[in-house]
Amino acid sequence: MSEDEFWRIIEAAKVDRERQGGDVDRLTAHLTERLRSLPVEEIVSFRCWFEYMLDRAMTGLVNAAYVLISDGLGSDDGELYFRTWLVGQGEILFESAVKSPDVLADRLYDGATPLEQAEAETLRYAPSYACAAKTGLSTRRTDGR
């Protein structure tokens, strides 16, 4: 899978969710469904791209934006979920925010708290859910750990 294809899949899932007025759980469901149509090798490649993008967003400036959004009350997990949300926003916002996180100020709106709007833990699991659905293998460990 190419990087362009990775972003096309993210954008398509985002559009599906926006049509139905959904939240991050709907985005995860739409992404999972899109990934299920791919061969397992492509799902794994998508997961590799997703992790790569999470790593790219692991910068001091992005972390500073998270600290501001969380009013300094965030956590390491929360920062990961913030970066996951950022990937889920699509290529244009992702690339802009990695270069200059100030662009995020206009993306968060009144209503829910900024932190509630900018976390997407489950989105990161979509490739695992898709693989499990395709292969019949569970995403849970069976050895008690």
Taking the model in full, what pTM does it have? 0.85
Residue 142 lies in a domain: no
Residue 67 lies in a domain: yes
Residue 143 lies in a domain: no
Domain with 100 in it: 3-135
Note the residue count of the chain: 145
DSSP one-letter code for 37 = T
Domain count, the chain: 1
Residue 140 lies in a domain: no
Only one residue has tokens 């692991």, namely 58
Task: Return the half-sphere exposure (C-beta side, CA atoms, 13 A cut-off) of residue 35.
Answer: 32
Per-residue model confidence as pLDDT tens digits over 47-104 = 999 999 999 999 999 999 888 888 787 788 989 999 999 999 899 999 999 999 988 8
Residue 141 lies in a domain: no
- Give percent above pLDDT 90 in the chain: 53
Residue 12 lies in a domain: yes
Residue 10 lies in a domain: yes
